[in-house]
Each structure stands twice: as C-alpha cells, then as structure tokens.
Amino acid sequence: MDLAEAIKTLTGVSTATLTSQLSKRGLNKVFMKGVRPLSASQPRFAGEAYTVRMIPAREDLGTYETLRSPDNPARKAIEHCPAGKVLVIDARGVTEAAVGGDILFARLQVRGVAGLVTDGGVRDAEEVRALGLPVQCAGPAAPASIGAHFAVGLDEPVACGGVAVMPGDVLVGDGDGVVVIPRKLVAEVARDGAEQERLERFLQQKVRGGASIVGVYPPNEATLAEYKTWKG
Amino acid sequence: MDLAEAIKTLTGVSTATLTSQLSKRGLNKVFMKGVRPLSASQPRFAGEAYTVRMIPAREDLGTYETLRSPDNPARKAIEHCPAGKVLVIDARGVTEAAVGGDILFARLQVRGVAGLVTDGGVRDAEEVRALGLPVQCAGPAAPASIGAHFAVGLDEPVACGGVAVMPGDVLVGDGDGVVVIPRKLVAEVARDGAEQERLERFLQQKVRGGASIVGVYPPNEATLAEYKTWKG
Amino acid sequence: MDLAEAIKTLTGVSTATLTSQLSKRGLNKVFMKGVRPLSASQPRFAGEAYTVRMIPAREDLGTYETLRSPDNPARKAIEHCPAGKVLVIDARGVTEAAVGGDILFARLQVRGVAGLVTDGGVRDAEEVRALGLPVQCAGPAAPASIGAHFAVGLDEPVACGGVAVMPGDVLVGDGDGVVVIPRKLVAEVARDGAEQERLERFLQQKVRGGASIVGVYPPNEATLAEYKTWKG
Amino acid sequence: MDLAEAIKTLTGVSTATLTSQLSKRGLNKVFMKGVRPLSASQPRFAGEAYTVRMIPAREDLGTYETLRSPDNPARKAIEHCPAGKVLVIDARGVTEAAVGGDILFARLQVRGVAGLVTDGGVRDAEEVRALGLPVQCAGPAAPASIGAHFAVGLDEPVACGGVAVMPGDVLVGDGDGVVVIPRKLVAEVARDGAEQERLERFLQQKVRGGASIVGVYPPNEATLAEYKTWKG
Amino acid sequence: MDLAEAIKTLTGVSTATLTSQLSKRGLNKVFMKGVRPLSASQPRFAGEAYTVRMIPAREDLGTYETLRSPDNPARKAIEHCPAGKVLVIDARGVTEAAVGGDILFARLQVRGVAGLVTDGGVRDAEEVRALGLPVQCAGPAAPASIGAHFAVGLDEPVACGGVAVMPGDVLVGDGDGVVVIPRKLVAEVARDGAEQERLERFLQQKVRGGASIVGVYPPNEATLAEYKTWKG
Amino acid sequence: MDLAEAIKTLTGVSTATLTSQLSKRGLNKVFMKGVRPLSASQPRFAGEAYTVRMIPAREDLGTYETLRSPDNPARKAIEHCPAGKVLVIDARGVTEAAVGGDILFARLQVRGVAGLVTDGGVRDAEEVRALGLPVQCAGPAAPASIGAHFAVGLDEPVACGGVAVMPGDVLVGDGDGVVVIPRKLVAEVARDGAEQERLERFLQQKVRGGASIVGVYPPNEATLAEYKTWKG
C-alpha cells in the first residue's frame, strides 16, 4: 500500500482503532491531550503533518508588521502547507489565545489542506465551523496569536497535545481527537486498522443482535471463523 | 414509595433539584465533578449503582489476555451489571484514556443497563452517542483502558468525580451531570424532589408571565396558597 | 456615536475583532478565560456591565433565609439589573456550583437583561438553553450557589474570568466568549470594529474566491483600494 | 476571655487543632488552599484581619503614578493596617506575580503588623525571609503587582485561598498554613483550642512512651481521668 | 537475596537508580507524582507496602465516633501496619486535607513502621518533621481527614500518586520521592541497583576529577575495565 | 558596559529589580513560571543562554543507545555549553521526569557552566544540591529523561517556563526564580538595575529605621536628594 492509498484508507479508520494498533506495536504516546474537534459535524481526516513551531510572544521579538508578514513562519505555512497535508501548530497548550481565524483557515481550505491541528485556540469559531475544514484544537479563543505566540520554525519536529510530531508522520482526526502515526508504520497500521474496523463492525452487529461479549469481544476461534464466512 | 417507584420518579427530577433536596438534609458532597453528558440529546436516567474499581495500569499487572478476559472485573461488569442499574467506573479522573467504547457499551444497552457513569474518558464517542445509552463521562479519548487502568474490584465502594459511591446508592443524570443519592434517602428525596419540581414548574410559569421573583422564588405564603389551588 | 448606538453596533462585531481593536490600543487583558457560551445557538449580545461580587460561602455567614432574601445582593441583582445591561457575576472561577438556574434567569430575560456572564457554573442547563437568554459561563453545575458563594457587593469593580470588570464597561459575547471594553473606549472601538468587520468580509470573500493571503490579509495598498471601490 | 487575650492564646494553638474546633462547630470552609509559610523558621502568628482587595490589572486602569501613590488601597494598607493585625491581600490565587516585596514588608514589620497573608506571590523572597515577619503566601514571584493586580478595596469582605475573610475575623498561621476564625467564635475557640492542645500534649507523651492509640486517641474515660490528674 | 536483605540493600539505592532499573525491565509507571519528602533531612527508607484505601467523605457515611473508632480502617492501620513496612494511604491526590497528624504518626514510629506514604496532606507538619519518621506526602494541610476521606479498605490494591500499589510491593523513598517496586522484581532490582550505584559513584568521581562524560557516562568498555579494577 | 561586565553586574541585581526594569521598557513576559531554585542556599547566577529543545518521547524515536550517545543534543550540550553560559532545557513544563541528574550536572559544574535552568524536573536532587551548581527547575523527579523527552535541537529559540528564550539572551536566577533579559537590553538593564538596587538599599535602610513609605517608596524629590548625598 503506497502512502496515498494508506492515507485514503486511514480516513475510514477510527482513532480508537489506530491507538490500539499502535499500542500493539509498542507505541502508547501517540494520542493528543486537550485537542478535540471544533465542530461535532466536521469530517474525519488523515494526512501528513506539516508543522509550525511557536514559542511564547515577547514584546521585543519582531514588530507588528514582521509578525504579519508572509515571511513569518505562521503566515508562510498558510500558503506553503501542501494540499492534502495536515497543518500542525505547536502552541504549547496555551488555550487563551488563537493560532488563527476564519480568513487564514478559509485559505487553507481553498488550498486543499486536509485539516488543522493545534493544542492552542481558534478564533471566529462560529465562522470556522461553517467553513467545513476539519479543525482539532483546544477550543475557541478570541485573542489573536500575536499576543501569545512567536513563530520560529517550519516543518520541524514539534510537540502538540503532549505528543511528538515529526514532519511526514501521518495524523488522523475524528470525534475522539487526533492520533499521530509514525511515517514508517503508516502502511501496516492502515492495513491492519482497516481490517480491525471490518471485524469490529461484524462484532458490533452480533452484539447489537444480542450476543454476549464473552467469546465475541475479543473474538474466540469460533467467532473468527464466523467472521471469515461473513466477510466472504 | 418502593425503590422501583422512587427510581421511576427520579428520572423526572433534575439534578439541580436533587442537590438542593440533599443539601437540605445536610449532604453537600453528592455531585460529581468533571463528569458530563457525552451527548446533548441523551435521555435522563436514574438507577442503582453497580461499580467497577480501577487502579493505574502497571506493565507487570496481568497480560493482554488476562486483561481482556471475562474474569477481569471491568469485562465481567459488562455482562453482570443488572438491567436497570447504572454502571459506575472509578477511573480516578484520568481523562486521557477510555474506560470502554462502542462494542462494550452496545452490550450494556442491549442488556438494559440504565446508564454508564465514569470520571474517565470514552472512546468511539460518535458511535457511542448514536447508541442512545446515556453516558456521563470526562469526554472522548481514543486510547484503550488497558494502557491506563487495571480493574481490581466489582461492586465495592468507590470514588467517582470526587464523590463517594456505595453499591446500592441511586445515581441520577441529566444535562447538568450526575448526583449520588444515598440508598436510605432515595424514597424521601424522590418524593420531595418530585414535589419541588411541580412547585418550580408553577413558579417558572409565573415568572415567565411577568412576576417578580420577590415573594415567588422562594415562594411566600400567598404564592404557596396560589400553588395549592393550581395543583388542585 | 452615543452609547446606545455603540452597543447596537457592537452586537454585530465579533470578539475576535474587538480583542484586536483593543490590542491596537494597548489593552490585552480583556478576554475572559474559562467563560464560554452555554448554548451553541444563543444570540450574540452587547451591554453595559452590572456586577455582583461573591466570596466563598462560610457556614456562619447568613442563614438560609437571609441568603435567599431579596436583600441578598445576588437576589437583588435579578430585579435591579437594568434592562439592556449584562449581569456579571464574579464567581472566582469556581466551576463546581451554579450561580443560578432557570427561574432566576427566566426573570432576567423577562426583564430584558441583555445577557448573563459568570466564571461560575449554571444549573438547569437544558432549561436555561431553552430560554434563549445569552449565557456565558464555566458550564453546567447542579449544586446551588448557596453552598459555594456568599454575595457581598452590587455594581462594584469585580474580576470575572481573570479580567477586571468596572461597572459601566461594555461586554460583548459571541461563540468565542466574552470581551470587556472599557467604558471610555466603547464608541471608538465600536466604530473601528464595525469597519474592520466590513473589510474582513471583503477579504474573506476574496480568499474564498481563491486569492492568496499575501497582499490580502493583511491587505496591501492595492487591496485596500479595491476594498474602497467595493464598499462604494 | 477578651479579644486580646484570645489572640495571645491562639498564637499557641496549632491550625490543625483550630480546624478541628471549627469543624465541631460546623465550620469546614476555614483553611486556606495554596497558602503556605514563606520561611520554615518564621514564628506562628494570630491577629485580626485587615484586608486589601485586588482585581486583575488592566492597561487603562490608573497610571504608574496613581498605582504607586499612597492613596492606592494596596499602598494605603501598608501605613494603615493597625499594629497587631494581619494584612490579608486577596490576589485571586495568582501565583505569577508578587503582591509586594522587602521594602513594603519591612515597613509592615516596623509598624508591628502581626503577619502578611495572601494567595498571591511575594518578591525578594530571600530578603523577606530575613525580615522575620511571618508571611503566608503562594510562594516567591519576582514580577511586581502592578502588572497583575489593581487594588480596589480596603477592609472589605474578601476571598483568600478559597476562604471568606471578613474584616475583624481572626487569622492564625503556622507551619501547616492559615485558618480563619469568625470573629464571634474567637473566644470560645481560643479557650477550647488551648485545652485541646494541652490534652494532646499529654496524649502525645503517652504515645511516645509506648501507649496504643486505642483508648488514648481519641481518649476514653480512663485516659481522660488520667489526664485530669496529670494536669493537676 | 531474600526480601529482608533486599530491603536493606534498597535503603542505599536512590529512586533515580531504581526508576532506571525498572525502566530497563519495561516498567515506567512506578514513580509517584505529587508525593515528596515532608522534611529535607528525613532518612531514606524501604519497606513492603501496607495500604489503606479511602474514598471521599460523605456526610451520611459513619458518625464522628465510628470514624475515629479503632475499627475504622484508617485507625486500624496505625496499630496493625507491621513494623518495617511502609504505610501507604490512598488519598486520591486530595491536597487540602490531612490523612493524619503528629499523634498517629508518633505511634507509627514507636511501632517501628518504616515510613508513611500518601498522595494526601499531613497536619501538624512541624511536629511530624520533628518525629524523624520518614513521611512522603502532598505537603502540609491542617484540616483533619474526617472532612475529606472515608476509609474503606485495608491492605488492598490501591492507587497512590498515580501509581498502582499492590500489598507486598516494596516502596523506596528519598529526596526525589517514592518508587514502587513490584514484589517479584525486588531481589533483582536491589542487586542490580546496588551495583549501578557503585558504578555511578566511580563515574561521578571521574567526572568530578575532570573527565568528559563521553565514554564515561554511559561508560564504554575502557571505562568499565577501569571500574572493574577500581572496585577490586 | 560590555557583556562580560554587564553579566558580572547582573549577579548582584535581584530578579525583582530586573522584572521592574524590563517592565519599564515594555517587557512583561520575561519571568519563568514554575521554575524555582532547587536549593535555598545556592548562589545567584547570570549568564548567556545556551539552549536544548526537547519534544515528547515516542517509543520509535531513537534507540536507548542513540538517546544516550554524545550526538544526542541533550548529551552534546553537556560538553558543548560554553563555560560561563547558562544551560536552558525546554522540557515543556513536564514535572514528572528529570532532564538530568548528578553526573551530568557535575560535569557542567566542572566545565564552569554558570547554571542550569529548566521547566522540567531534576533527579538525584540531594546530590545535585550538594554540587553547588545553581539549578532552577520544576523540582525533583526520579525518572530519567529518556521516558519523557526526545532532544531535537541545540541553541535554538525555545520556550522555558512559559517565556521565550533566544540564544544569547541573558538569564539571571535568584531566590525568586529566573528572568530572561533580551540580549540587546542587557547593558542598560544591568546599569539601571544596579543603580535601582543601590537606591533600594538606601530606602530599605530608611524604612527599617522607621520611615513611612510615603515619600520614600517610591521616593520623592527630597528622598532622592538625600540619597544623592548618601551615595556621595
């Protein structure tokens, strides 16, 4: 499975399943804390990480002009994050200021960016929800990023929601939040995750039909045999 | 009023009213902190507590197999929590992992469990919301319980949301959260709570009709007399 | 622009825009932390602050009767907060108890109060959402204020959500939360905020139409000229 | 016992004993949270509360000059807090800025103030420790109060460490922290607290001598009789 | 190495070394959070865990008398925790109340208990420091346990400082805090930990003598050979 | 004043004075939160920042060997941080693991590094205190950095204690904590800070001698004239 195919597959696999797949491979530090969908109805997404690193604002670092200039990494990212990728903004878990608002995020959407992920806040939350771009963040916050953050890096290793994100890792977001899949595990996790989803759909159907979880979840040999027949 | 009737009555009494009734009886440590409805549209519920106690996971405690076996208290509870009761899972307020997900909770619903209450997270939140089972928790979290919790007890006294829960206490959940009613107070609190609700519906009607709260909320003698007539 | 006109204008200006306008004037401590809309569909609001100050409850301070009497500042405010103003309740960020519930807030709405703002909780959250009164708070909490708060002042300077609120300041609330505008800046901030909104609607339209943010957000001379023509 | 005598007595009674005495009288919201002695070797203290109330700083509230003027409540308190009283500064639990430093506190000490209590920080911590004035606070913090606080009231009811403080209440501080004793309970709590201390010294002596706590702590009739003889 | 010998060895091994030894064996959830030495000068300790489990206090659970009776698990533990063991009290991380004070802890010391560990507070902190009993806790807090805790279990699996503690596990405490060693790993961890300490003393000596850490920490073959000679 | 002289001067200026000097110049985001001296008796320090940036550990990032290799930025810094500079480790405020312990820090001291600053923990706290190297950190924590951190950068802009640190900025630490002085302000802040200290020593002397703070702190013309004479 190549990367594009894996990413496509991953949009149909839940973060619950993916954390389990990663846990089986010894990776337990992959789910972001304090990062959740801005809108209950936004679509799931998967894509490679493209990162922005921000440190705390300090009154002497840059002028208002340089901070809003297209060379500022946070602004540059809006035009340079490749279509299909996920823009990840390391905001150090600061919830009291936004990393951006409706105009910047509209541009991301027009450019085909797959989603926005940050452990900081988002302003113009109502308008951003209306955009349709999947946004995972710490929640709404009106104050602009300028008062809280100073962007210093583009596409570097960063922390987001207490998790390491390396450029090229794949992020998947759904109603539970965001999981980070290390690049070299993407293909196998996509494959095994999709299979786990299929199995769980079958098990869910049995359980809703009245089956006990004993022997079903987790499935024993008999259940697995039944599943094999079911999936044909 | 017997227990079944009291519980039925309690599904129509708000947790706001119940905390007030308990406060009048000197009980102020009864409302869970950090526990809220997973879905805005889920039904209210009331039922006796059936508890699971979990301590932190430790890498040497049990194998993956024993942890998912039907003898594990957390699994056993799924099949043994009696219909009509509320499954309460003491997750020590850990929000970064789930206590379960859509398959386990579908089983609870099929079995007629009245609701699920935990101060931990829940995975597959979108699917769980769709189930219809009332769930009160710390919010969505994808990682499985296995990485965070080790279940050690069934139907023991536990802590949940900073509140003591004794097996047999009655829990009521609504849009505000969850209140614990000590077993021996259930009947009188149900009776007086229902009466308070009736009175407040009357007062609410007056206030919406333009009455001042003075003499109305709290009601003076005249208002109480008027209420008596109203309720017939 | 007189105050009434300014307040009317402000109901159409987002808190994101207002924090930016205040930041340009050197005011960065104006957005409340931990205060958010109780309902996703409640209307925006703007109005002068009318405040209640509460300190922690202590078992010897007042009786149940005095606490619920119309002379208690928290009760008095319900009948005395002028129509069109915003009732602000300083609850010291205590999230585990309510500052009030559906009957008190129904009265506020009948009396034409513009909104309720508190860094404390709100009880009867489902019913309060149904009222339509805009409420910005720390979230639902069933326990009554009596167990947590003792009201000591009316229309005094207070803290709310970590921000200073002086009587007469104007508060604006929307989906992002609540901003405080010092009284003497209200007219100019309303005027410049409304103009910024108009400009941003134009820029947003360009961006959705495919324009890069470079030269557009922030706008360069050419874009500003284009805007001038657009607004006619 | 008059107030002066009661206060003198209270300097010899631990806050542990005092919280127990108050708890027996139904008062459990009397011990400050997050407030601890700045120095391990500072003396215990007791005295009437004299309060300063601060709200969050806002860039438009006062000039640098007015903020440091002798009419600013926070400055006025330094010269007006009566000798023998305890200066209590309500800093809303903000730990990242100081409420004052070595010069202001040296003045308090010279003027005979009994102690300083705040739920905010203290600057020049090393120098303040050297002064000898008992200081209970949230810990050291270098930034001046001017960036975080705006004083608005003198000798008003305030909150400190999550506890209500009314002017005239008596505060006692030791190695565990600070307890607030409502004015009207001061005499009886001083008397009973001193007696409890005496009894516990006796019990402590027995326990160190090898006695089991059974029958000793809490003491049974025989132990109480023995105590009576002991104290003569 | 038998258990007694292992425990004796462990009093000479730092918790830093022990967390490393356990990490090498795949155990990373073994160090308590928010638990620290009450006194800077208290001795290190090691011993088997003897546990008390407490849930939140509720006004209807027990009377003042039953709560202080010798049958209450928290009281029973004071007389029944075996000499040489460590009393571990699960206080759910509640820092605002004590789990006990100077008389109870004096009894523990007289009885030869090796130490007290809790994620709750301790009252009479000054007197407890003077006792000499090693105490690891969340810090001083004057209010008695009765207002916050209700003891429900003795020598059960518990949580403390976010870590699982099984009866019979060995706890070691020093200036960094407390580590839990699963019972079956005690002997090997004691042996390898002691050896690591010896090696690190040698490496520390080299570093203080001017050696680079390269090749020394971690040691390469040459350094290890040198160490072999050194230890003879 | 050249940099070396400024740094020398700064070792005699308190962080309280320095935050005031920076505040007068419009810089208020310069004092680290949650960073405090490890030892009460450690010397003050000042020096240029040399930084290490760490992101969260992830099980697939590097092996145990690469993580402890001299090429790992966190290890490299120990040998490459220039004498006289301050090693600053960005640990994202994670208090539950150490950034290093006694052997690494002994090497820093031997090499003449001026101090260690981190918003993470430190292991072997007792031994580190004995070294004499000034350490400002989040407190003791036994677990090694390997389980929590993955070092990714050397001498980059970082965040520490919620403050931006640029390589070459000067850090000063004392009993209150750590302040960051932007490089280009170092000379003037050193000069004016030293003068402020001298003035405050004079004012402190007056206050201890019985002067009111009115006219003295802040000083009026007369007091300033007196000071001029005093300093000669």
Q: Do D58 and C164 touch (CB under 8 A)?
A: yes
pLDDT band, residue B28 (cuts 50/70/90): very high
Whether B55 contacts chain E with CB within 8 A: yes
pLDDT at D1: 83
pLDDT score of C50 more than 90: yes
Mutation for testing the B interface, residue in C66, C126, C128, C146 having most B CBs under 10 Å? C126
> pLDDT class for B64, splitting at 50, 70, 90?
confident
Q: Which residues of B touch C104 (CB under 8 A)?
A: 213, 217
Q: Which residues of B touch C125 (CB under 8 A)?
A: 175-176
- Chain F touches chain B, with at least 3 Cβ pairs below 8 Å, answer no
Note the pTM of the prediction, 2 decimals. Answer: 0.97
Among F98, F104, F127, beta carbon nearest to E213: F104
CB of F110 within 8 Å of a chain E CB? The answer is yes
Q: Is the pLDDT of residue B63 over 90?
A: no
Q: Measured between CB atoms, does E112 come within 8 Å of chain D? A: no
Kindly report, residue by residue over A5-55, the tens digit of the pLDDT.
Answer: 999 999 999 999 999 999 999 999 999 999 999 999 999 999 999 999 999
Please give the interface size between C and D, counted as residue pairs whose CB atoms are below 8 Å apart.
75
CA distances from residue D127 to D75, D89, D101, F136 in whole angstroms, order as listed:
20, 20, 8, 19
pLDDT in the model for residue A45: 98
**Does residue E143 register a pLDDT over 90?**
yes
Residues of chain B contacting A200 with CB distance shorter than 8 Å? 103
Average pLDDT over all residues of chain F: 97
Q: Is D59's CB within 8 Å of C184's CB? A: no
CATH 3.50.30.40 domain position(s) in chain B: 31-181
Q: Which amino acid is at B119?
A: D
> CB contact, 8 Å: F56 with chain E?
no
Closest CA to E121 of E102, E145, E103, E105: E145
Q: What is the Cα Rg of chain E in Å?
A: 20
- CATH C-level class of A31-181: alpha beta
For residue A232, is pLDDT > 90? no
C-alpha span between B77 and B83 (Å, rounded): 11
CA dihedral sign of residues D141, D146, D151, D154: positive
Question: Which pLDDT value is given to residue B1?
Answer: 83
CB contact under 8 A, E140 and D218: no
Given a cut of 90, whether residue D225 has pLDDT beyond it is yes
The distance of D164 to chain C (nearest Cα, Å) reads 5
Residues of E in contact with D218 (CB under 8 A): 68
Judge whether C75 is closer than 8 Å to chain B, CB to CB: yes
Nearest chain F residue to A149, by CA = F164
Q: What is the DSSP string of A6-66?
A: HHHHHTTS-HHHHHHHHHHTT----B-SS-EESSTTPPPEEEEEEEEEEEE--TTSS-HHH
- CA dist., res. D13 & res. E81, Å (int): 30
Residue C147 pLDDT: 95
- Residue contact A182–F58, C-beta within 8 A: yes
A65 has a pLDDT exceeding 90: no
Is the CB of B45 inside 8 Å of chain C's CB atoms?
Answer: no
Burial class (CB in 10 A: 0-12, 13-18, 19+), A41: exposed
E near B: at least 3 beta-carbon pairs less than 8 Å apart: yes
B139: Cβ contacts below 8 Å, ≥ 6 apart: A36, B36, B38, B95, B121, B122, B125
Helix, strand, coil proportions of chain A in percent (round to 5)? 40, 25, 40
CB contact under 8 A, E75 and D210: no
Instruction: Provide the strand spans (E) within chain E.
Output: 36-37, 45-56, 86-90, 115-118, 135-137, 149-154, 158-160, 163-165, 170-174, 177-181
Chain F residues lying within 8 Å of A52, measured CB to CB: none
Least confident of B19-28, B59-68, B144-153, C33-42: B59-68
F23:D144 CB<8 A? yes
Kindly write down the DSSP assignment for every residue of F55-80, as one continuous string.
EE--TTSS-HHHHHSTTSHHHHHHHH
3-state secondary structure (DSSP) of residue B11: coil
User: Cβ F204–D143 below 8 Å, yes or no?
Assistant: no
Residue B194, pLDDT above cutoff 90: yes
D25 close contact with E: CB closer than 8 A = no
Beta-carbon contacts of residue C20 (< 8 Å; ≥ 6 apart): A144, C196
If pLDDT is split at 50, 70 and 90, which confidence band does C63 have? confident
Nearest by CB: E164 against B61, B156, B182? B61
Q: Is B18 on the interface with C (CB under 8 A)?
A: yes
Q: Which two tokens stand for residue A7?
A: 């990413």
Structure tokens at B214: 């003075």
Once rounded to an integer, what is the mean pLDDT over residues C145-170? 97
User: Which tokens in the block code for residue F36?
Assistant: 């405090």
Chain A residues with beta carbon closer than 8 angstroms to that of C181: none
Q: What is the pLDDT of residues B89-140, one digit of tens each?
A: 999 999 999 999 999 999 999 999 999 999 999 999 999 999 999 999 999 9
Residue C118 clears pLDDT 90, i.e. is over it: yes
C98 touches chain B (CB under 8 A): yes
pLDDT at A85 over 90: yes
Partner F contacted by A175 (CB < 8 A): no
Mean pLDDT score, B214-227: 96
Shortest distance between the Cα of F53 and any Cα of chain A, in A, equals 10
Enumerate residues 6+ apart whose C-beta is below 8 A from C222. Answer: C215
Question: What is the tens place of the pLDDT at every residue in D80-130?
Answer: 999 999 999 999 999 999 999 999 999 999 999 999 999 999 999 999 999
Cβ(D60)–Cβ(D23) below 8 Å: no
**Interchain contact, F56 vs A158, CB within 8 Å:** no
- Residue C211, helix vs strand vs coil: coil
Predicted local confidence at residue C232, as pLDDT = 84
Interface present between C and E (3 or more CB pairs within 8 Å): no
Q: Indicate the pLDDT class of residue D163, thresholds 50, 70 and 90.
A: very high
Predicted confidence at residue C67, as pLDDT, reads: 84
Cα→Cα distances D200→D195, D219, D226, E98, E147, Å: 9, 10, 13, 17, 20
pLDDT for A46 equals 98
Distances in whole angstroms, Cα of residue A137 to Cα of each of A80, A125, F124: 21, 11, 37
Question: Between chains, do B59 and E28 touch, taking CB under 8 Å as contact?
Answer: yes
| C-alpha dist (Å) from residue D208 to D15, E43, E79, E153 | 22, 19, 14, 27
The dihedral formed by the CA atoms of B197, B40, C36 and A57, expressed in degrees to the nearest 10: 150
| Residue numbers in C near A143 (CB within 8 A) | 19, 23, 28, 31
pLDDT band at A62 (very low <50, low <70, confident <90, very high): confident
Task: Place A2 in a pLDDT band, splitting at 50, 70 and 90.
Answer: very high
CA distance A165 to A150: 19
Find chain D residues with C-beta within 8 A of F214's C-beta. Answer: 70, 79
Which chain C residue has its CA at the smallest distance from A65's CA? C218
DSSP B44: P
pLDDT(C145) > 90: yes
Inter-chain contact E156–B158, Cβ cutoff 8 Å?
no
pLDDT in tens, E162-189: 999 999 999 999 999 999 999 999 999 9
Secondary structure (3-state) at B126: helix
Distance between D229 CA and the closest CA of chain C, angstroms: 37
Cβ(D182)–Cβ(D169) below 8 Å? yes
Question: To the nearest whole angstrom, how far is the Cα of F203 from the nearest Cα of chain A?
Answer: 31
pLDDT at E144: 96
Task: Round the average pLDDT of chain B to a whole number and report it.
Answer: 97
Tell me the mean pLDDT in the region D170-182: 98
* Residue A103 at interface with chain C, using a CB cutoff of 8 Å: yes
> Does residue C209 carry a pLDDT above 90?
yes
For residue C14, the chain A residues in CB contact (below 8 A) are 124, 142
Reported as a pLDDT band with limits 50, 70 and 90, residue D201 is very high
Looking at every residue in chain D, the average pLDDT score rounds to 97
- Which residues of chain E lie closer than 8 angstroms to D32, CB-CB? none
Q: How many CB atoms lie within 10 A of CB E59?
A: 15
**In the predicted model, what is the mean pLDDT of residues B205-224?**
96
- Given a cut of 90, is residue E68 above it in pLDDT? no
Rounded mean pLDDT of chain C? 97
User: Choosing among D72, D80, D102, which should be mutated to test the F contact, i.e. which has the most F CBs within 10 A?
Assistant: D102
pLDDT digits (tens, 9 = 90+) for F106-141: 999 999 999 999 999 999 999 999 999 999 999 999
Q: pLDDT tens track of chain F, all 232 residues?
A: 899 999 999 999 999 999 999 999 999 999 999 999 999 999 999 999 999 999 999 999 988 788 888 899 999 999 999 999 999 999 999 999 999 999 999 999 999 999 999 999 999 999 999 999 999 999 999 999 999 999 999 999 999 999 999 999 999 999 999 999 999 999 999 999 999 999 999 999 999 999 999 999 999 999 999 999 998 8
